[in-house]
Amino acid sequence: SLSLVAQCSCVLFMILILGNYWFLGVLYLLWMYLDWETPRRGGRRSQWVRNWTIWKYFREYFPIHLVKTSDLSPNHNYLLGFHPHGILVAGAFGNFCTNSSFKNLFPGLTPYLHITPVWFNCPFFREYVLSFGIVSATKDSVSHVLNNKGGGHASIIVIGGAEESLNAHPGSFTLTILQRKGFIKMALRHG
């Protein structure tokens, strides 16, 4: 799970800082400081990471399918909602953070999955997450994606957020939406 990878990256960073290679840790902290706005400004995706063969097996292991119900023109930007959150958000990751099916179903659109900003505070882990095209779930970040000229960008928000993940139980789909209306305001603001 993502939290395990984040914990391991934090432990690796602590070993680096407390060991003989502390200067590398300091250089990385300087890099994080200089690169702090990247998760809010469209991220830094790596097609190489998104094309790893393991993602094909990941999608086969978890029964992840993206169902196309409408054509989306690559001349516009879109705000898409994803449900259910689940415990791992495996469906959103498999569909929008790998080059498995989204680019085939919606050619010309670039997906940006928005996650809670706290994940971008973990050293090394933030680079891993950014390489998938994941960006921060802040108003600034969503606005940045939706304001891109020329269209072709899809901002994906897991509507229920972390609160919805606490209601993840087999066989039930609980949508947490009553206090989650900011995405509607963003959609209205950006047309």
For residue 162, being part of any structural domain is answered with yes
For residue 22, being part of any structural domain is answered with no
Mean pLDDT of the chain, nearest integer: 88
Q: What is the pLDDT of residue 181?
A: 75
Token look-up 């984040």 returns: 6
For residue 28, being part of any structural domain is answered with no
Q: What is the pLDDT of residue 64?
A: 84
Q: How confident is the model at residue 187 (pLDDT cuts 50, 70, 90)?
A: confident
Question: Model's pTM, two decimal places?
Answer: 0.89
Q: Identify the domain containing residue 100 by its residue range.
A: 37-190
For residue 134, being part of any structural domain is answered with yes
Residue 63 DSSP class: T
Q: What is the pLDDT of residue 49?
A: 95
Residue 97 DSSP class: S
For residue 7, being part of any structural domain is answered with no
pLDDT in tens, 136-145: 999 999 999 9
Interatomic CA distance for residues 191 and 179, integer angstroms: 22
**23 CB burial (10 A radius; 0-12, 13-18, 19+):** exposed
Q: How many structural domains comprise the chain?
A: 1
pLDDT in tens, 103-135: 899 999 999 999 999 999 999 999 999 999 999
For residue 24, being part of any structural domain is answered with no
For residue 148, being part of any structural domain is answered with yes
Q: What is the pLDDT of residue 13?
A: 94
Interatomic CA distance for residues 58 and 117, integer angstroms: 25
Identify whether the C-beta of residue 98 lies closer than 8 Å to the C-beta of residue 58.
yes
Tell whether the model's pLDDT for residue 96 goes beyond 70: yes
Tell whether the model's pLDDT for residue 1 goes beyond 70: no
